[in-house]
A and B are shown apart, each in its own frame.
Chain A
Amino acid sequence: MTTTVEPGNGARTVGAPPCGALQRPSELSRNIDVSGLVDSQGGLLDRAVFTDEQLYRQELRRIFATSWLFLAHTDQFHKPGDFFTTYMGEDPVIVTMDKNRNIRAYLNSCRHRGARVCRADYGATRSFTCTYHGWAYDLEGKLISIPNKEGYADNFHTDDWGLVEVPHVDSYQGLIFGTWDPKPVALRDSLGDIAWYLDAMLDHDAEGTVVVGGVNKWVLEGNWKLAAEQFASDWYHVNMSHASALMLLSPGGKPKDEVVHRTGRQYVDPKGHGHGFPVHPRNRFDAQTVHEWMDYAALRARLGDARVEGPVTTGHGTVFPNFSYLPVNGSIRVWHPKGPDRMEVWAWTIVDKSMPDHVREAQRLYNLRTFGPSGIFEQDDGENWSEVQVISHGFITNSVPLNYQMGIGSERHDGRYPGVTSELYSDAAARAMYARWRDLMNTPAWHERKPS
């Protein structure tokens, strides 16, 4: 752990809220068997996974309510009361540092009538007060004030009505994740071998990373999986989609053969993660100032040749389900689902804490220019995802399977990169991601009542 912030140990479990006579009918959450929508062996995908409203509701229940989801960076919390509001799936959550300096996360919804108790994007506070009737909660989520409390009966206990807490919050190398699963696989185990690839971005030196600038947020038409899948598995699109940007950045403006015919590896994780990267002895950081500042010999000593010649610089990764990153730019982002047809992209720029200000600024500007909301690469990707989504509700269009067959059979242990890897140009990690998606979608979640 290179961070100075220790997230909560996650020992707390969600107290069963008072339900009285309420019992939600199971018809409200009917589940569909998705086995027939994903052919991970044959590399085929049914387009309904991007468009169907019922499947989307099932994703919220069985993927977003069960997986470790990225919440924030530890650098966003320095003193008790510092908070950041975000989403887990479509659930609004407050991430904050409590009085004991533990990072905790709460459902951002008043227990009374359900409004958000924190409307700000981020800041510092001493309590969270609902603007509707004034129920107020402290940094530990406890209900501490109710106006006109004399109106409630003697058996009303404020202890029953605290904010609903995310039961497990943990961090890895400065990245804070949370899960609603009361008995989850530990975060580190859930990451598995992708931690080795993440370290290529997060562990350049002992000081770790910090956030520069704010969080950029933008809305895209497109299912969240289109973006998650591309960052897990898709180098293939680079030369076509980003041709104009590559030409702009190419010295002398001349197309270069070695750019188009790069070779590299793609990490394929059975838990749905993925990370692809070109492999070359002279891989470097794109921003000139960052390149000149980096001590590549020190990086080789700390991270090893395989990483410096691979995932340290150019490449793309996704931690299942919806956290993605680009090491060369220091871009980390979440694809928040907003219905089957829309996502919100929330993107941070992270840099090495050891970087002097002018290097941090160079990386911030380089990331903004390339992968900011109006970045020359980012716009290409958003355009493609929206293009795919906007036509996909057509009946015939929707029923024609999509091709994920590149690199079938190429998955192997190559002896240099951990886990199973495929070629740089391959759909292997996407196939694994959808296999994981299928398995979770077909598995009853922790919150579902056991059939009696």
Chain B
Amino acid sequence: MKYGIRVAAVDDIPKGEGISIDRSVTGTDDDIALLRDDDGCVWALNNTCTHAEASLAEGWVEDGYVECPLHSSKFCLKTGAVQGLPATRDAVAHRVELRDGDVYLFPRQGS
């Protein structure tokens, strides 16, 4: 895993939004949400909200957080730390590198 897995082009992800990468690609327990903030940085969190069945990739990316599209809990893009009910558990965060316009993912195993 020295170079990561190329999972998307940066331009595949609109600013302020996210896309979901299937677990068959990432080899993780959950799909992984790639979330692009308004500065153009890309972040990766486990896609399923820790509160209920909801896709964080469909959430709203704003001010360093992704807001769950269903019940509005927010998770820190950088660490996955939860901020605010109804979720109580942090999301799993994964390392991402951007190289030549592509997104490389370093999935954290055994979350």
Residues of A within 8 A of B (CB): 125-127, 129, 134, 136, 144-147, 149
Q: Of residues 30 to 51 in B, which have CB atoms within 8 Å of A's CB atoms?
A: 51
Judge if B78 is at the interface, Cβ distance under 8 Å. no
Q: Which residues of A contact B58 (CB under 8 A)?
A: 126-127
Query: Considering the chains assembled together, what is the distance between the CA atoms of A15 and B51 in angstroms?
Result: 30
Is there contact, CB below 8 Å, between A145 and B53? yes
**Residue with the highest number of chain B CB atoms closer than 10 Å, among A125, A129, A144, A145:** A145
| Pairwise interchain contact A127-B52, C-beta atoms closer than 8 A | no
Give the size of the chain B interface in residues (CB under 8 angstroms).
10
CA gap between A126 and B72 in the complex, in Å: 12
Complex: how many Å from CA A125 to CA B53? Answer: 17
**Assembly CA distance A126 to B56 (angstroms):** 11
Q: Given the complex of chains A and B, what is the CA–CA distance between A220 and B48 in angstroms?
A: 48
Taking CB atoms, residues of chain B closer than 8 Å to A125 are 69
A141 to chain B, nearest CB (A): 15
A176 to B54, CA, bound (A): 32
The one of A126, A129, A144 that contacts B53, using a Cβ cutoff of 8 Å:
A144
Q: Among the interface residues B51, B70, B72, which one has the most CB atoms of the partner chain A within 10 A?
A: B70
Q: Does B71 have its Cβ within 8 Å of any Cβ on chain A?
A: yes
Which residue of B has the minimal Cβ distance to A137? B70
Chain B residue nearest to A149 (CB atoms) is: B52
Instruction: Please give the distance in Å from B38's CB to the nearest CB on chain A.
Output: 17
User: Can you list 22 A-B pairs, Cβ within 8 angstroms, ordered by A?
Assistant: A126-B58, A127-B58, A127-B69, A127-B70, A129-B70, A129-B71, A134-B52, A134-B70, A134-B71, A136-B54, A136-B70, A136-B71, A144-B53, A144-B54, A145-B52, A145-B54, A145-B70, A145-B71, A146-B52, A147-B51, A147-B52, A147-B86
**Who on chain A is nearest to B71 by CB?**
A134
Q: Besides A136-B70, A145-B71, 16 other CB < 8 A contacts?
A: A125-B69, A127-B58, A127-B69, A127-B70, A129-B70, A134-B52, A134-B70, A136-B54, A144-B53, A144-B54, A145-B53, A145-B54, A145-B70, A147-B51, A147-B52, A147-B71
